[in-house]
Structure 1
């Protein structure tokens, strides 16, 4: 068997997987094999075929085989159509390293009370005049993918995001064009097996509404209902995300930003070969059965993204 999966979940988490995402342990291997066989018969997709990668997508799609196929196709399609985000993802590259050292995206140690992993983003730390938005996205996606590959619990219990808007200014707003936001939204919502359970905005600046309205226009209604805007009221955040999971800088007890940043740099360094090898897993649109997909079709500003799926 290709990259045979070994379960690390507790009995409690296995039960949650049954109840919340329709995972049946006795059928798991057959479901993985079904998807693997399907991938092998897609002439346009060069995909990772190991059990764990396929299982992550099955869990992200609540074991709907059809949705899993659609999401995997979208994932590898996006990698092909967004080379500026997926090529040369070397954590030791000077530009990528500079962004990683800023700690702009940090999955936090441990889990919040419902078992979800909390991820803090700090895009205000990034200076658009010095580093490109595409490099920021490239570094962020590298962190996300290494985290997802190493965190089995989150594949069942999902994630909660805390967006720290401290220092977001006019230069960030102008960099976050509608086309960039739409492309990123399509990629993350349609191409990744993450299941966001909450989106919390803190330290929101005066210009926040302008930026958020752009993002909101590309969110499905279900996701909009999971958005919480706390401003500078940290007590409001703590009602959703406990201090025990937050870093010291956010009034928590879960290590420091410096320590967590260092941890993720070390993890990406350890997975450098995996990240570089990942470039070969893409689609070849010239071999796709039927009509080839294009950036204009998937990311163009014409049309609507109301069909985006968010669990």
Structure 2
């Protein structure tokens, strides 16, 4: 495998310090379409402790934790990326090599056929970042990216507010990282152990990542 540092390559417990930065979350309840919903908070990225490869690994961890649930396979997934706190310093990650590898990895994660990406609390800086990433993304991914700035009413047309926490104008439970990580990640070490044993052979053949 090329670029192994972009993939999970250690037992899941060894990524606890990364998970504890609370950049990634899985909402406990599915949305009104039966989709599993991820939340990514870029304001929690600690550039002094993290690298682009760490974000790719965290993406993979939450993705793999739910990817083989029958209802998730049927209905797909949705990611809400909260860009609050995104700064010019974050642009240092958007080097062509990083963008190319990250995009190729995303393209080969095709277990889930249906995925939407909703970006909230965006800004002109975020638009600049997206314009840098866009050439590396395939058309299917780009066609399913939606920007909402701080318009939560529009977001609620895609994700029912009953499952969202109050900070996103929802009526759902507050974020509980410990409970969610225990339920979806640490209690499923067998999934990640299998991933370590089998790797990404099929995807490598298709994408040569």
Q: TM-score range by the shorter chain?
A: 0.7 to 0.9
Tell me how far 1:114 sits from its aligned partner. 2.2
- Given that 2:7 and 2:56 are in contact with CA atoms closer than 8 Å, whether structure 1 keeps it comes out as no
Instruction: Report which of the two structures shows the higher radius of gyration computed on alpha carbons.
Output: 1
Superposed CA RMSD in Å reads 2.5
Instruction: Say whether 1:164 aligns with 2:54.
Output: no
Q: 1:111 to 1:277 in 2, by over 3 A?
A: closer
Which residue of 2 is the match for residue 126 of structure 1? 45
Q: Secondary structure at the match of 2:124?
A: coil
Q: 1:97 to 1:205 in 2, by over 3 A?
A: farther
Q: TM-score, normalised by structure 1?
A: 0.59
Tell me how far 1:239 sits from its aligned partner. 1.9
Q: Secondary structure at the match of 1:163?
A: strand
| Higher RCO, 1 vs 2 (CA within 8 Å, ≥6 residues apart) | 2
- Given that 1:124 and 1:167 are in contact with CA atoms closer than 8 Å, whether structure 2 keeps it comes out as yes
Q: Matches of 1:145 and 1:246 in 2, distance apart?
A: 22
Q: TM-score, normalised by structure 2?
A: 0.85
The one of 10, 20, 29 equivalent to 1:110 is 29
- Identify, as 1 or 2, the structure richer in strand: 2
Which residue of 2 is the match for residue 272 of structure 1? 189
Q: How many residues align?
A: 206
Q: 1:298 to 1:108 in 2, by over 3 A?
A: same
Runs of 4+ displaced beyond 6 Å: none
Alignment of 1:201-240 (within 5 A): 201-240=119-158
Which residue of 2 is the match for residue 90 of structure 1? 11
Q: 1:130 to 1:202 in 2, by over 3 A?
A: same
Q: Matches of 1:283 and 1:189 in 2, distance apart?
A: 13
Q: Matches of 2:114 and 2:24 in 1, distance apart?
A: 15
Q: List runs of 5+ in structure 1 lacking aligned partners.
A: 1-79, 285-291, 300-311
Q: List runs of 5+ in structure 2 lacking aligned partners.
A: none
